[in-house]
Amino acid sequence: MIAPADPVLDQLELGVRTRAGAVLIGPSGVGKTTLARTVADRLAAEFPRVDWVFATTARQPVPFGAFERLITVPETGSATAVSRAAAEQLGDGRLLIVDDAHLLDPLSSALVHQLAVEGTARLLLTATADDAPVPAEVSALWRDGLVARVDVRPPGHDDARLLAQADEFVATLPAPARSVLEFLTVSDPLPRTDADTLAGADAVDAALECGAVLAIGGELRPAHPLLLDAVRGALGGPELRRLRTAVVERTSGPGRGVVSRLRTAFLAIGSDRALTASELCAAAREALRLGDLDLSERLGRAALAQSPQLDARLTVGYALAWQGRGRDADEILAEIDPATLSEDELLAWALPTAANQFWMLSEPERATAFLRTTRGKVTSPSARITLDALSATFTMNAGNLGRALELADEVLGSEYADDTAVGWAASAAALSSARMGRFADVDALAERALSAGQPGLLRFTSGFGQTTALMMTGDTDRALELARRLTDLAQRHQPGRAIGAVLTADVLIASGEHAEAVPLLRDAAAALAPTGYSWGPLAWMLLAQALGRLGQPVEAGKALSRAETKHGLKSMLFAPELALARAATMSARGDEHGAVAAARDAVKAAERGGQQAVALRAARDGAQLGDPRAAETLARLSRDLDCAFARAALR
C-alpha cells in the first residue's frame, strides 16, 4: 500500500489532463496497476473510450505484440506504413493505459511514442525503471517531458520479500490453477478460448477464482508479473518445451493474424512441433518487413536448418546486412551457387549481394564490377533496368551525380521498372537533383520514391534531397520539420533513427545551431559506426564541422580523423563536407589560412561533382571563415543558381 496515495493520484490526473499523459514509476509489487486503474476510473468520463495495453512478460516479444487486440497489422506494407496506420487507428482521443511499459516490444514502444508526440491519444503508463532496461522510446516520454513522471517507492519496500511471497503463493495453488500460469509463461497474454483448450475450462475457472490470473478483454493475464517469474523458476527445460509444443499445436493453422503467426513461429523454434521450412521462412519475411531484424534472423536460420532454400538465405542475408553485420551477410549469401539459379533468382540474389559489398563491406569497386558482370548474364529488360537502378545509387554515392541522374532517368522512363527499381532510382535522383541545384524536381522525385513503397533506408535518401532543397529555397523551418519527422518515423530502429538525426543536424548546422547539432551527431556517429553506410562518414564530417565552429579544436580533430578514416569511394558524394570539416577544424586551431584553403577546396570539390547547391553552402562557410574571395565566389555561383540561400549569403 502506498502512503500517501492521494497526491500520487492527483499528479497522475494532472499529467493526463495537461500533457500527453503521465507515467507511474516504481518497483514491482507496490500497486502501480491498482493506482492506474483508479486514475482511469476517475478520468473515464472525459474520454470517448478507455483501453488497456499490457506488455508481455512471457519473453517472446514480437512486433506490435502488446497492441494485437487493438489494431490490425496488415499483411503488406513496411513497418513505417504499419505504424502510421496503427497510430491512425488509435489516435481518436482515447485514454490508453499501458501497464509495464518497460516490457514493450520495439514497435509497440515506437507506437506509444508516436501517439505521445502527435497528441492524438492520452497516455497513462506504469513502468519499472530501476533494474530492467527500458526501451528508448519509452524512457524518452518522461526524459523529453512529454508525460509527467510520478515516482513511488514506499518505505520498507523489499523486492526479495515480494519474490518470496510470490513463490509461496504459487506453491499453494491447486495444480490446475498453476497449469494456467505455466502456459502463460510461454504465451502471455493467452486468449481464453486457447486457455480452455490447453489447460481445461475448470482449470481456468480455478485460476480466476484464486486470483492467480485475470480475464481482460477475452484474454488471460497473470495477476502479477512476479507470479510468472515464480512459476518459470520452478519449470525445467523439458517442461517448458512441452508447454511451447502444446501452444504451437493449438495456435498453428489458418485464420491467425500476423502477430499471432510470428508468436507461434518463435515458440515453434523451442518446441517439438516444428513448423515447415516454408512456414518459418514466411514468418522470417514478415519479421523483416516489420523491421524486427533479430527475430527475422532467428526464424530464417531455423528455416535454413531444415532446408537451405534460397528465400530463407536471402532473408537472413538482408537481416544481417541491415544490422550492419556485413561479413556475416556475405558468408550467408556466398553459399549460393549462381550457376544453379534462374534469371529471377539470380537477380534476387545479386541485389543484396552487391549492396552488401558496396556499403557494409566497404568494397565499392568489387560491388560495381559484380553488378556489371551480373547485368551481362541477364536478358530480361526488367532485370537489367533493376540492376541499372542500383547502379544509379552506387554512382551517386561515388560522387558522379550527372551519370547517376542519367541512369535514374532511364530507369524512371522505362516501362519495365518495378517498384524496387523505381524506389532506388527516384530516391537517388531526388538527392542528386537537390545537390545539383535542380530544386523544382526534388519533391516529385521524392514522392515517386515514397509511392514505390520500398522498405529500408531509401526514404532518408530522398528526404535528404528534400531538406536540402528546402534550405536552399529559404524554407529552413520546413526542412527542420521534415528531418525531425523522418527521425520520428524511424523511432528506435537503427540505423534509421541515426540517419534521421544526421539530416536534422545538417539543417541545424546550416542555420548556425551548432551546439544543438553536436549531441545528435555524437549519438548518430556511434550508432552508424558498426554499419558500412555512407551516412556514417557524413556524421563524423558534420560533427567535426559543428565542433570546429564551436571552437573545440581537440574534439573537432578527433571527429575529423574518424571521418577521414571512414571516407572512401562509397562516400565520395560527401567530399565537399569533408573539406568543410577540415576548414572548421583548422579555424578552431587558429589556422586561418588553412581554414580558408580548405573551404575553397570544398567549393572546388562540389563544382567538380556538379554539386552547385553544395558549392554555394561551401562558399558561404568560406565567407564566415574569413575568405576574402568568398563574395566573388558567391556572386559567380549565384549567377548559375539563383536561390534564396544564395541571395541571403550575398547580403
At a CB cut-off of 8 Å and minimum separation 6, what does 604 contact? Answer: none
Give, in order, the Cα–Cα distances in Å from 86 to each of 83, 90, 377: 5, 6, 43
Angle formed by the axes of helices 535-549 and 496-510, nearest 10°: 30
Is residue 454 scored above 90 in pLDDT?
Answer: no
**pLDDT recorded at residue 29:** 79
* Sheet with 219-222, edge to edge strand ranges: 190-191, 219-222, 213-216
Question: Under a CB-based contact definition with an 8 Å cutoff, are residues 21 and 117 in contact?
Answer: no
CB 60 within 8 A of CB 469: no
Number of neighbours of residue 615 by Cβ within 10 angstroms: 27
Tell how far CA 169 is from the center of its chain. 41
The band of 1, judged by pLDDT with boundaries at 50, 70 and 90, is: very low
The pTM for the full model equals 0.83
CATH numeric code, 485-651: 1.25.40.10
- Cell output for 146: 512529454
| Residue 365 scores a pLDDT above 50 | yes
Contact 402, 610 (CB under 8 A): yes
What is the tens place of the pLDDT at every residue in 176-210?
999 999 999 998 888 899 999 999 999 999 999 99
C-alpha 432/C-alpha 419 separation (Å) is 20
* Distance set, CA 98 to CA 127, 200, 467, 622 (Å): 9, 29, 35, 52
In sequence order, what are the beta bridge partners of 148? 22
Would you give the DSSP letter of residue 102? G
Q: How confident is the model at residue 639 (pLDDT cuts 50, 70, 90)?
A: very high
Q: How confident is the model at residue 550 (pLDDT cuts 50, 70, 90)?
A: very high
Cell numbers 554555394: residue? 616
Lowest mean pLDDT across 31-35, 89-93, 474-478: 31-35
CB count in 10 Å sphere of residue 161: 11
Average pLDDT over residues 485-495: 68
**What are the tens digits of pLDDT across the range 267-293?**
999 899 989 999 999 999 999 988 888
Which residues have a Cβ under 8 Å from the Cβ of 480 and sit 6 or more positions away? 467, 504, 507, 508, 511
Task: Tell me the three cell numbers of residue 363.
Answer: 568494397
Residue 54's DSSP bridge partners are 99
3-state secondary structure 167-207: HHHHHCCCHHHHHHHHHHHHCCCEEHHHHHHHHCHHHHHHH
Q: What is the pLDDT of residue 131?
A: 63
Q: How confident is the model at residue 490 (pLDDT cuts 50, 70, 90)?
A: low
d(CA 67, CA 109): 10
Specify the residue for cell string 513496411. 78
pLDDT in tens, 40-73: 999 999 999 999 998 876 566 789 988 988 999 9
Mean pLDDT, residues 566-595:
96
Distance CA 649, CA 651 (A): 5
* Confidence (pLDDT) at 132: 65
Q: Which of residues 122 and 459 earns the better pLDDT score?
A: 122
Summarised one tens digit per residue, pLDDT across range 69-79 is 899 999 988 77
Q: What percent of the chain has pLDDT over 70?
A: 96
CA 239/CA 560 separation, integer angstroms: 56
Q: How many residues does the chain have?
A: 651
User: For 162-173, what is the mean pLDDT?
Assistant: 91
Q: How far apart are CA 183 and CA 204, in angstroms?
A: 11
For the chain, which residues make up each domain, given as ranges? 6-157, 160-317, 485-651
Cα 475 to Cα 53: distance, rounded to the nearest angstrom? 40
> With bands split at pLDDT 50, 70 and 90, how would you rate the model's confidence at 458?
confident
Integer Cα distance of 562 and 560 in angstroms: 5
Burial tier of 165 (Cβ tally within 10 Å: 0-12, 13-18, 19+): middle
Class of CATH domain 6-157: alpha beta
